[in-house]
Chains A and B, each alone.
Chain A
Amino acid sequence: ADRDEPLTVDAGQMKIDGKRRTRQLTGGVEITRGSLVLKAGEVEMREGPRGALATALGTAAQPATFRQKRVGPDEVIEGDARRIEYDAASETVRFIEAARVRVYRDGKLADQVSGDQITYDRQRDVVEVLGATGAVPGRVRAVVTPRAASDAASAPAGGAR
């Protein structure tokens, strides 16, 4: 699974700040790890106690984007936001400000969610969407394609509460 894959980084320039033990990547950055792809104009990488922590910064015109295959069913999760925070250890992605997440099932767009802040916990396979955080009043909007009655049975039972 992606956890075991190496984290590779490709950026225009890199500046290392020894004191704060961070790496400043600019000039169009692409971070990959197995099926995970994180792209943004500028990324700040920090080494956390249990693994890398990346904060990708995009612009209104060019938001940071994220893409990864889901565990289990043949589905791909795609998302973009002004800022994306990725915790390699816990495999948690947080999309902040103008966040949008799309789920593709068998290559077709099945579900999409938009809101002010979206958190995707890959290990618990849970997505959490917050409409309004702080000053910005906002709503969450989700468009879901109901499972055709036939394949409903195949979906994994149970679900996070």
Chain B
Amino acid sequence: ADPAEPSAASTGLRAAAPAGLCRPVTRGKTRPATGSSVQAGRNNTGELELEADQVRGRIGEQLLAEGHVQLRRGVLSLEADQLEYTQASDLARATGSVHLRRGDDVFTGPELALDTTRLEGHFDRPTYRFGRTDAGGQAERIDFLGANRMAVTGATYSSCEPSEGETLPWVLSSRRVRLDFDANEGIAEDAVLRFYGVPILAAPVLSFPVTDERKSGWLPPTIGTTSSSGLEVSVPYYWNIAPQYDATITPTMSYKRGPGVDAEVRYLQPGWSGELGFYALPDDRVADRERWAWRAQHRGQIGPDIDYQIGGLRVSDDNYYTDDLRGADFLTPRLLPTRAQAQRRSSLRLGGAEVEQTIYAQVHTWQLLQDRSDSTLVTTPYRRQPQVGARWRTVDGPLDWSLQTEASRFTNADTSLISGDRVHLQGSVAWPLGDGGWSLTPRLAFNAASYQTDTAMSDGLRSRSRFIPTFTLDSRWTFERPTEAFGRALTQTLEPRLRYVKTPYRDQSTLPNFDSAGLDFNTDSVFADNSFSGTDRISDAHQITAGASTRFLASDTGGELARFTVAQRFLLSDQQITPEGTPQTRRFSDLLLQASTSALRNLNLDGIVQYDTDQQRVKRTIGSVRYTPGPYQALSASYRLQRGSSEQLSLGWQWPLAGWGTGRRTPAAEAVQQTSTLALDRTPRGGNDCKGALYGVGWVDYSLRDQRLTSTVLGLEYDAGCWIGRLVAQRQSVANSSSNTKLMLQIEFVGLSRLSLGSNPLSSFKDNIPGYQMLRDPQGRNDVSDDITPYNRSFKGVNLFP
């Protein structure tokens, strides 16, 4: 069946996480704990099937079955040694190793009396196991109070397999638990959570959801220590306002800085959705002033083809980042954008060709957090206040042409920088010739702009315009030959490319530069017409770029196993306008080499080298290797050199140190094994295959230029089968001299919930360790999963490149 497009209202507010390869706790899609076919309050209907070795009784009145008795009716399925069924009162009384199954939950015990229609009755001294959380325990008695309600007295609950003599690693015991699956509520009275016998959490009343739906309630507290704020405790309260709205209010108490509160509201409607968050520290005792941060992200659609986004991040002062306070996480932590933009896409027919039209508008401002201790201040980027534009592009037809016009007002927080308006029009027409094997594409383009500045430009004028045409001729060939390598039949391609670009010189030195900067020199930009990005600077060009790449493709699937590319530009005449500012007289540009391969099993190698042919030395290089021999095993290393700017070595690892994962396969043994790369079938069978495994996790960024570690995370993850412990120490440099260290301890009770000390290390693992795999799929546990706690490092807020 066609998987239904996820309608906004129904997707709910939680993203599914990929399943870990240890025995995943539960499948994401298991039915809720109740027999889902019994509506709230209605009876269990349908015929009653009875199977046994012997049946005796009066037809229509009473049946006595003996010997491996099985009873099935609607959602109910029951097994026992003996069973007496009274048809008149519809009461089934089972004795002798009774197994009762309701949906995914199994109850076993010596004796059960149950009305099979109203599903009311009691079970003495049962043990039970909930399928969805794969956890259970014993109880003195369970009273079934109808289809979806039950009361359990003297219950213990744990996901650990009981082994004689040893105490359960963790167990939640409570005097009485009332479960109401319709109201999605579990209330435990006098609940005590014991970890290896030591009570670590006691609550007179503990409420928890029993189905997947979200439920208001206190989330596990997080306690952490950071050098900038000292000990900090935060206890989030999750408020499930309505199916489409929820809020998380988190009072926080910092030892050094005092009390604060973080509030985040999330909303999801068919036409629009988003998040709104605010953190306030009314009286920061360290900085002796109030600190706050707000964050917002709103997305919406108007009609079928207009969509808009509004979002931003604002903090109270420049030191907000260096003090590592909450609620201001973003990709560029010291440059916080605020942006509102809308686009309208439509396609129309123009002169026989189908044309895509996009009309867009946006307002875009920034907050740059200056580091006062640093001598050089960072110049703030320009603001677009506003920018309105339109783009047209042909979709098919013999000629490819495109046209774009835009009117923008650029201002800057730094008043010494010139502000002004710019209207620009750029267009191109190309005539692609050839078929799949070769192609020749002549292309004519122009870039016209007129400026109106608030103050005089360097030549005294306040308005100027310029028109710059460009002609390019691009030719590509693709040659192929069958070959054989890495033990597989391959097709090797050879793809030479020549591109000629001619752009006349037009002086733009006096014109303001709002949104242009030099492009990185790489295998993509070497073929670009302009050496600058943006509109304000168009480099003159009379050059030919030659390049060739060869790929190795698997003949059976067409998949690419390896690729090598080389490219170089040849200047036919000097280039006046260059990113470096000085005219470029060298005839041959730097040589670019790029290689990537995944042909060797479990090994990914990537490399880029930019070699300066004149000074015979490498100007820029990036090399990375990633080794992932099996589940939960990832080693990655990368070296980045940008001569004169940065040189960094990064290591990332997730590796089993003890228990299941280690020592079973040495890389040599690895090479011999021919099974599939993702070692699903090598997971040992039977029992909990990840029990007692200790993993080392972490990454290190070492700046060779500054001779210091810019960021270090060392972590240990211990998977004891029914609980997972994470201990993480993180050291992040926040200013030239100072850095902030953070300690996080997290215990995840599989089947219950997570108690974390400090922020959640999981999301930072996923972002920074290439190939990191979560040990267990936290999805589907009936606890209030923690990924809706406000402090969540991977909050992207307004993403930098929409």
Contact = CB atoms under 8 A, between A and B. Distances in A.
Physical contact A–B (CB less than 8 Å): yes
Interface of A: 70, 73, 75, 77, 101, 103, 105, 110-111, 113, 115, 125-132, 139-147, 149, 152, 155-156, 158-160
A137 to B, nearest CB: 9
B87 A147 contact: yes
A145 B88 CA distance: 11
A143 B47 contact: yes
Contact of A144 (B52, B53, B63): B63
B379 to A, nearest CB: 82
B58 A146 contact: no
A155 B56 contact: no
A115 B117 contact: no
Nearest to A145: B47
Nearest to A157: B88
- Chain B contact residues, majority secondary structure: strand
Contacts of B63: 142, 144
A139 B69 CA distance: 10
Contact of B60 (A73, A101, A143, A149): A73
B116 interface: yes
- Chain A contact residues, majority secondary structure: strand
B317 interface: no
24 contacts: A75-B60, A111-B60, A113-B59, A115-B55, A125-B59, A127-B56, A127-B57, A131-B55, A139-B51, A140-B51, A140-B54, A140-B65, A142-B52, A142-B65, A143-B49, A143-B50, A144-B50, A145-B47, A145-B48, A146-B48, A146-B87, A149-B117, A152-B90, A160-B58
Nearest to A153: B88
A144 B57 CA distance: 12
A131 B50 CA distance: 12
A141 B73 CA distance: 14
A147 B90 CA distance: 7
Contacts of A113: 55, 59
A62 to B, nearest CB: 25
B62 A77 contact: no
Given A73-B60, A142-B65, A147-B88, 17 more contacts: A125-B59, A129-B54, A130-B54, A139-B53, A140-B51, A140-B54, A142-B50, A143-B49, A144-B47, A144-B48, A144-B87, A145-B47, A146-B87, A155-B88, A159-B86, A160-B57, A160-B58
A159 B48 contact: no
Contacts of B51: 139-142
B723 interface: no
Contacts of A145: 47-48
Given A131-B53, A143-B47, A77 B60 contact: no
Contact of B59 (A127, A139, A141): A127
Contacts of B88: 147, 152, 155
B61 interface: yes
Interface residues of B, number: 29
Interface in B34-54: 47-54
B52 A139 contact: yes
Interface string B55-89: 11111111101011000010000000000011111
Given A141-B49, A143-B50, A147-B90, A159 B58 contact: yes
B120 to A, nearest CB: 12
Contacts of A143: 47-50
A161 to B, nearest CB: 8
Contacts of A132: 53
B56 A146 contact: no
Contact of B54 (A101, A103, A131, A147): A131
B332 to A, nearest CB: 68
A111 B65 contact: no
B117 to A, nearest CB: 6
Contact of A155 (B57, B61, B73): B61
B60 A105 contact: yes
Contacts of A141: 49-51
A145 B73 CA distance: 10
Listed from nearest, the 5 A-B pairs whose CB atoms lie closest are: A159-B62, A159-B61, A129-B55, A131-B53, A142-B50
Contacts of B90: 146-147, 149, 152
Contacts of B68: 139
Contact of A140 (B52, B59, B89, B116): B52
Given A146-B116, A149-B90, A152-B90, A129 B56 contact: yes
B55 A156 contact: no
A62 B58 CA distance: 28
A158 B57 CA distance: 11
The interface centre, meaning the residue of B60, B68, B86 with most chain A CB atoms within 10 A of its CB, is B60
Interface in B212-255: none
Given A146-B48, A146-B87, A126 B58 contact: yes
A125 B116 CA distance: 25
Contacts of A147: 60, 87-88, 90
A128 B86 CA distance: 15
Contact of A159 (B50, B53, B57, B116): B57
Contacts of B86: 159
Contacts of A140: 50-55, 65
A29 B540 CA distance: 112
A110 B59 CA distance: 10
A113 B87 CA distance: 15
